[in-house]
């Protein structure tokens, strides 16, 4: 390799590595809803979470009625945001496939991924806080503890 090409090579390698990493994270986030853990659910809008609510929080029929529209609204918002993350991941992959790498397109795709991921975090936390209002104080405390532990990865029995 020509010495004058080394800075370009390392810059391009760093951009590709960052892009691939962002793409992988976006894909895992988009497909994370397929994963579920029985003690601490990973899918806050699907069946695993619904089952967890019933088994761990003892949701009553009345609470279920209150929670249904909240869950439906969240599922719609979450689905749209996951779609945006996946689309931005495809944009990123396409930008990385071009030779030479289209840096403005890479940056735009990464920005779109980060923006949608941030919105997803806001919507998810808002969803939990909205759900809390339909729960008893004990149920709400348990849900908030689980939420905090999920954020900090401090799952305790």
What domains appear along the chain, each with residue ranges and CATH number? Answer: 3-152 (1.20.120.1490)
- The residue count of the chain comes to 157
Q: What is the predicted pLDDT for the residue at 120?
A: 93
Q: How far is CA 81 from CA 2, 24, 88, 117, in A?
A: 44, 16, 10, 8
Arithmetic mean of pLDDT, 73-81: 94
Task: Look at the alpha carbons of 80, 82, 85, 89 in this order and tell me if their dihedral is positive or negative.
Answer: negative
Confidence of residue 31 (pLDDT cuts 50, 70, 90): very low
Mean pLDDT (the chain) is: 77
| Position 39 pLDDT exceeds 90 | no
To the nearest 10 degrees (0 to 180), the angle between helices 103-132 and 6-31 is 30
Write the pLDDT tens digit of every residue in 86-122: 999 999 999 999 888 889 999 999 999 999 999 999 9
CA 59, chain centre distance (Å): 25
d(CA 18, CA 54): 41
Tokens for 110? Answer: 């990464």
Q: What is the predicted pLDDT for the residue at 18?
A: 53
d(CA 83, CA 156): 32
Arithmetic mean of pLDDT, 1-27: 54
The residue among 37, 50, 51 whose CA lies nearest residue 157 is 37
| Position 43 pLDDT exceeds 70 | no
d(CA 123, CA 125): 6
Tokens for 5? Answer: 């090409």
């Amino acid at each position: 390799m020509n010495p004058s090409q080394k800075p370009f090579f390392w810059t391009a390698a760093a951009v590709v590595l960052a892009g691939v990493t962002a793409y992988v994270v976006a894909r895992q986030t988009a497909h994370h809803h397929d994963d579920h853990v029985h003690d601490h659910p990973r899918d806050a809008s699907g069946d695993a979470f619904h089952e967890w609510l019933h088994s761990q929080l003892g949701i009553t029929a009345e609470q279920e009625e209150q929670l249904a529209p909240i869950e439906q609204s969240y599922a719609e918002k979450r689905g749209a945001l996951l779609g945006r993350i996946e689309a931005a991941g495809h944009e990123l992959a396409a930008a990385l496939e071009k030779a030479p790498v289209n840096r403005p397109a890479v940056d735009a795709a990464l920005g779109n991924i980060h923006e949608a991921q941030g919105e997803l975090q806001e919507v998810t936390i808002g969803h939990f806080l909205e759900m809390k209002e339909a729960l008893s104080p004990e149920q709400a405390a348990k849900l908030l503890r689980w939420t905090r532990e999920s954020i900090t990865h401090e799952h305790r029995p």
